[in-house]
Amino acid sequence: MAPGAAAMTDPHRPDVSRREALLRLSSTAVAAAAVGIGALAFHNRRTAAPGAPAVPDWRVPPVPGGPLAAAARGADPAANVRRALAALGGIERFVARGESVLVKPNLGWDRLPEQAANTDPEVVAELVRQCRAAGASRVVVTDISCNDPRRCFARSGVAAAATAAGADVIVAGSLRMVPAALAGFASGLEVIDELLKADRVINVPVAKHHSLSRVTVGMKNWFGVLGTGRNRLHQSIDRALAELGASFRPTLTVVDATRVLLANGPQGGSLADVRDVNAVAAGIDPVLCDAWGAAQLGLDPRLLGFIQEAEQRGLGRSDLALVEELGTA
């Protein structure tokens, strides 16, 4: 997730920005160690809020022998989305007529599309169009930004593109936060109510550098559905991301690698840190999708702690050979 910081009195935003969290964590090695020990003890004694509703499982049954993920490359992001979805069986396999869909991009930062800090607007818009074509009764596009949400949604290009495609675009100040039965470091945090109300959820991260986890893709993108206090998850990032992967089971993960931010993430800013990859992957295995996203930055997913922890928990597989590469159109 990631994204000037707005007033911290807004109950719909994290209590500190991601950049602030990173700066605090890097202040001294001694402080970091102390925080880590305290966080572990805090984690061990926290449980889900009594009576909090369970997070739905939005997955659809796999097709025996079908691909777990497919990746398409080409200059047109929307075409890449269509080709990747077609390889999985088409959007109709995942979204039925009359269902409501939440599309969750990364809209954390006050950045232009060319700066690769947010999900590409054409990727988001094409997913909205696909869901509408499948007969979805409503498609919501939302995220809890770290920078001013209206600027993030506007400058990213997503607000205009998704609205034109038929989505209800909801910025953080208009979201309602509700309890949810989350485990681990996220226990006790609230989530956006639109998430729990959706029949289907599509996680649409951008693949980019992150100072703590080395890369942010799908599992890290769940930060954007969490309310005040989510900054504490940075204290043991690999474990926390795997826990989020266990809590949130999306219908689809669609990884935007149209442009990737290679350094100074998650916010970026300099075009010198951006590389055009012109690729999109879609899949039903979120671990595999994160592994593919990491590889687009030149990273070996076998060396990334959160991917390995998620795989050890049985949340998916990281073997890139399982991704059906469709080539360049």
CA 290 to chain centroid, in Å, comes to 10
Exposed / middle / buried, residue 57 (Cβ in 10 Å: 0-12, 13-18, 19+)? exposed
Q: Which pLDDT belongs to residue 33? A: 31
CA distance 8 to 6: 6
Q: Which amino acid would we find at residue 242?
A: A
Residue pair 306/242 in contact (Cβ under 8 Å)? The answer is yes
CA distance 121 to 243: 28
CA distance 88 to 140: 23
Q: Which pLDDT belongs to residue 49? A: 58
Q: Which pLDDT belongs to residue 51? A: 80
Q: Which pLDDT belongs to residue 238? A: 97
Q: Which pLDDT belongs to residue 258? A: 98
User: Per the structure block, which two tokens stand in for 75?
Assistant: 């200059």
- Whole-prediction pTM value? 0.86
User: Per the structure block, which two tokens stand in for 97?
Assistant: 């007529």
Q: Spell 253-267 as b/e; 16+ CB within 10 A means b.
A: bbbbbbbbbbeebbb
Q: Which pLDDT belongs to residue 55? A: 97
Q: Which CATH class is domain 18-328?
A: alpha beta
CA distance 218 to 292: 11
Q: Which amino acid would we find at residue 324?
A: E
Q: Which pLDDT belongs to residue 72? A: 98
CA 255 to chain centroid, in Å, comes to 9
CA distance 200 to 32: 38
Q: Which pLDDT belongs to residue 45? A: 32
Q: Which stretches in the chain have pLDDT values below 50?
A: 1-47
Residue whose C-alpha is closest to residue 316's, from 306, 328, 303:
306
User: Per the structure block, which two tokens stand in for 108?
Assistant: 């954390």
SS (H, E, C) the chain: CCCCECCCCCCCCCCCCHHHHHHHHCCCHHHHHHHHHHHHHHHHHCCCCCCCCCCCECCCCCCCCCCCEEEEECCCHHHHHHHHHHHCCCHHHCCCCCCEEEEEECCCCCCCHHHCCCCCHHHHHHHHHHHHHCCCCEEEEECCCCECHHHHHHHCCHHHHHHHHCCEEECHHHCCEEECCCCHHHCCCEEEHHHHHCCEEEEECEEEEECCCEEECHHHHHHHHECCCHHHHHHHHHHHHHHHHHHCECCEEEEEEEEEECCCCCCCCCHHHEEEEEEEEEECCHHHHHHHHHHCCCCCHHHCHHHHHHHHCCCCCCCHHHEEEEEEC
Q: What is the pLDDT of residues 158-197, one digit of tens each?
A: 999 999 999 999 999 899 999 999 999 999 999 999 999 9
User: Per the structure block, which two tokens stand in for 205?
Assistant: 């991260």
Q: Give how far Cα 121 sits from Cα of 86, 149, 154, 157, Å.
A: 20, 15, 10, 5
Residue whose C-alpha is closest to residue 177's, from 217, 133, 229:
229
Q: What is the pLDDT of residues 40-86, one digit of tens each?
A: 333 333 445 568 999 999 999 989 999 999 999 999 999 999 999 99
